[in-house]
């Protein structure tokens, strides 16, 4: 058994209080982590797909409108006038780029969700370990420390050196 040079029972009592505070903080942190995991899971499974699906619909409409505007402009202008419809071409290019970005994001979401689920499974083990620490190991350590403090108090009361 290891030997300790205990000079203050008060210091041990403060340490016991610190263990209890660590236990409470660990429980709260585990709950907070679970809440954050749940928020991200909801965001990835519902909010993000809805957002990008809406953005894709908007981008499709803008692309269709820009294409129609360009076709209308080309029908009005002369074929030999190269500078005509420049604004409409640029608008169509921007609408095409935005539509492609939205399509890419919509396609990326399932892969992102799979990566999140993998991370979540790995991280949940750590959260369970934190809960085990706060629910069993820290209380056990604090109980043992409390018994040692009581024993030391009894020893000190008997005039031990």
Per domain, the residue ranges of the chain are 9-148
At residue 83, does pLDDT exceed 80?
Answer: no
At residue 4, does pLDDT exceed 90?
Answer: no
When the pLDDT of each residue in the chain is averaged and rounded to a whole number, the result is 90
Kindly report, residue by residue over 11-42, the tens digit of the pLDDT: 899 999 999 999 999 999 999 999 999 999 99
At residue 161, does pLDDT exceed 60?
Answer: no
The percentage of residues in the chain with a pLDDT greater than 70, rounded to a whole number, is 91
> Please, what's the b/e burial string for 23-52 (b: 16 or more CB within 10 A of its CB; e: otherwise)?
beebbeebeebeeebeeeeeebeeebbeeb
Q: What is the pLDDT of residue 160?
A: 58
Q: What is the pLDDT of residue 77?
A: 75
* pTM assigned to the model: 0.69
């Amino acid at each position: 058994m290891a030997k300790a040079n205990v000079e203050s029972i008060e210091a041990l009592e403060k340490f016991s209080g610190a263990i209890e505070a660590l236990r409470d903080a660990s429980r709260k942190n585990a709950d907070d982590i679970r809440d954050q995991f749940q928020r991200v899971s909801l965001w990835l499974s519902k909010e993000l797909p809805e957002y990008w699906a809406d953005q894709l619909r908007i981008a499709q409409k803008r692309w269709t409108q820009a294409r129609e505007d360009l076709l209308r402009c080309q029908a009005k202008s002369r074929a030999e006038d190269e500078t005509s419809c420049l604004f409409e071409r640029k608008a169509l290019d921007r609408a095409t780029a935005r539509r492609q970005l939205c399509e890419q994001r919509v396609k990326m979401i399932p892969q992102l969700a799979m990566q999140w689920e993998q991370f979540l499974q790995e991280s949940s083990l750590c959260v369970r370990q934190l809960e085990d620490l706060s629910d069993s190991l820290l209380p056990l350590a604090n109980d043992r420390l409390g018994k040692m403090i009581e024993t030391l108090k009894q020893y000190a009361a008997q005039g031990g050196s």
